[in-house]
Amino acid sequence: MTENNHDRIKQSFENKDWPEIKSSDSWNIFKIMSEFGEGYESLSKIGPCVSVFGTARTKPGTKYYEMAVEIGQKLAAAGLGVITGGGPGIMEAGNKGASKEKGASVGLNIDLPFEQSSNPYIDHDKNIDFRFFFVRKVMFMKYAQGFIVLPGGFGTLDELFEALTLVQTQKSAEFPIILVGSSYWKGLVDWIKSTMLEEEHNINEKDLELFTIVDTAEEAVNEIFEFYSKYSMSINF
């Protein structure tokens, strides 16, 4: 445990008087409201987009980085903008692909103590910084017409399960959720089926239809359009 983490844990147990608590909470409310306001104002103008999720740690030239570039290109060529977390890795690749095709390239960057900084392929007027993860996730969910999820870590899983939960609980209209890389997702999906569904009965079998697994950029983008074609809808500009 780092010294900084140790201090933060200690501080969380320190007694605070009511004026101190009230002042701190009130200031946080204003910061949260400000982030929501900036996000709504900026993203309400971008038009139809797809959110592309994935790790910040994937390097250029690797399989999933180049696939994310291709996904971004295909989405932009079809008239859709690309929303990412704004950082390096898969996020950078998605923005890079959109930028190559002159499509809307949106970055929702998060202030972290490590690894995260805005990538250079985000449109300068669509690069938004956040301090609060939950505000950032609202923007991902509200302004995207679909989600393409490439391999990632805890943050990617957080975003994936947020999307699945919103659709499952009908807090959001159904939208396409595409997992890219069957070999990567196999272990998780097998556990969902065998443990969550069959052993513990914590989800319904129909919940397995909330996501689709593909292995190529072309399949991922086609799934977005096939989903909306069922409703005789076009989502491009």
The C-alpha angle 174, 175, 176, rounded to 5 degrees, equals 135
CATH number of 3-229: 3.40.50.450
Find out whether 53 and 159 touch, Cβ atoms under 8 Å: yes
Distances (CA, A) of 37 to 18, 80, 145, 170, 206: 28, 24, 21, 25, 36
Residues 6+ apart with CB under 8 A from 180: 64, 67, 71, 148, 149, 150, 151, 213, 214, 215, 217, 220
Distances (CA, A) of 128 to 39, 90, 186: 7, 18, 33
Compute the distance between CA of residue 103 and CA of residue 228 in angstroms, rounded to an integer: 20
The C-alpha angle 226, 188, 182, rounded to 5 degrees, equals 45
Q: Among the residues of the chain, which ranges form H helices? A: 3-12, 18-43, 63-77, 90-100, 133-142, 154-168, 182-191, 217-229
Report, as an integer, the average pLDDT of 88-95. Answer: 97
Compute the distance between CA of residue 2 and CA of residue 194 in angstroms, rounded to an integer: 38
Report, as an integer, the average pLDDT of 58-77. Answer: 98
Provide the pLDDT for residue 237: 42
Compute the distance between CA of residue 10 and CA of residue 38 in angstroms, rounded to an integer: 33
pTM of the model as a whole? 0.87
The pLDDT mean for the chain works out to 90
Provide the pLDDT for residue 115: 57
Find out whether 41 and 34 touch, Cβ atoms under 8 Å: no
At 158-211, the pLDDT tens digits run 999 999 999 999 999 999 999 999 999 999 999 999 999 999 999 999 999 999
Find out whether 54 and 150 touch, Cβ atoms under 8 Å: yes
Spans of all domains in the chain: 3-229
User: Is the confidence at residue 114, as pLDDT, over 80?
Assistant: no
For the record, the structure tokens of 237 come out as 């500009």
The residue whose two tokens read 């950032």 is 136
Q: Is 7 exposed, middle or buried (0-12, 13-18, 19+ CB in 10 A)?
A: exposed
